[in-house]
Chain A
Amino acid sequence: MTIYIVNIFLFLFKSIDEYRNENPNPVFFLNSLLQTHSLQDLRQQAAIASKVFVQRDYTSGTICKFQTKFPTELETRIDKQQFEETIQTLNNLYAEAEKLGGKSYLEGCLACLTAYTIFLCMETHYEKVLKNIAKYIQEQNEKVYAPLGLLLTDPIERGLRVVEITIFEDRSIGSR
């Protein structure tokens, strides 16, 4: 009986896969899709000097929020205000994903009434916002960080624990 139920689920998943044109995971896949050639070139050609990790800020509870404290390693590379603005925007986006309001309650109640089968068919609000976050990070990398020899990694690839900033060797300046 269990095998029968599992087979039903397998069939359902496969058909839903085709319906959604599913990728391994929409958010993670989007990250890979959004790698432009310029960023790939940066990664392939430049050597990594170090990495900086911006940790989570738990003072407001368990919501996803990153510390806006400016790391000392980035002082020579980027403007403090620009960095803080990026982190603050990320925090705002995550806050929007986790916002408690009519829409999220409605989604939750609807899911409960359908015995949570709706999660198989529909993308949740959180996942939609994660896609926006991925796009925002991509855009920030292209416009602001790559020209400065830095690269932001989407926190979702690090389990929402840290914002990883990779510092590449600054070949234009020459000395290291």
Chain B
Amino acid sequence: MLRIVKPKTKRAKRELEKRAPKLEENTKKLLLLHGTKVSSVLRGVLADLFHLRKAEGRALKYSKKNDGVRPFEGGGETSLEFLSQKTDCSQFAFGSHSKKRPHNLVLGRMFDYHVYDMIEVGVERYKSLESLGGGKKASPQPGSKPCFAFIGEAFEARPEFRHLKELLVDLFRGEVIETLNLQGLDRVFLCTAAGDKVLFRHCAIRLKKSGSKVPRIELVEVGPSMDMVIRRHREPSDNLKKEAMRIMPKTTKKKVKNVSGDPLVGKVGRIYMPKQDVGEMALAKMKGLKRERREAAAARAVAADSGTEAAPSNSPKKQRTE
């Protein structure tokens, strides 16, 4: 188990926050591993997968032999889970070669650093990226959003094919975007279900002029291309699936009242004033009007006195004011 490290620097804290669970998650990272024995075919496959996913650091390739990793076997997943936690990778591609399972590729996903689901395919008729000329002219831009085309009834009818379809889409789809620039449509992953195999191809899209607004599509095969024979697969348990597919209920944003906006005026707010009786209110003293206030008070006193008494009391006051 990895010990829980408390960050000592702000940078470390930021890195940990990047890895923390969030509502809207980061794009998944792919971990590519070599097993005990790896054939040259598989080596090429893993290298090509790495090439496809390495944009923005979303893939990690460990080329050293990993004897401890044995997916589909009881204790063989602990090593995988440890590596996944260490590298923060939630997808893995494990390649191994044996007599019983030649050119074996295991593609899988993790949930909470435990194996969620995986599928084992055998690779046949592999053509690498380089051999198909995926290097130069026709090659799509690295990190561009791909299209997917799935052909075949099996992708709907058979569970292992359906599983592979989900996995492949999750593997290659990249970032989830809201706006797409249509000129940037430059790659497509094609999967055809033919018999028991899935023919996996990767093509670059060329947009050619056509008479209408919609351009004519031309596909140029760039690597990698392989035929996948589905061997074993493990789907997630119902509970795990339910947990992993959970979406937080969208909190409706609190309606902001009494605020309106205008590009001309800017942000305008409304304030509701209570009824104010200025005569009754305790206002600030105005020192400048002290003399006037005194005179007014005196005049008022005079008016009151003249109604009741004679003048004598008035004269001293009058002298004072003069």
Partners in one complex: no
Tell me the A residues contacting B by CB distance below 8 Å.
none
Chain B residues within CB distance 8 Å of chain A: none
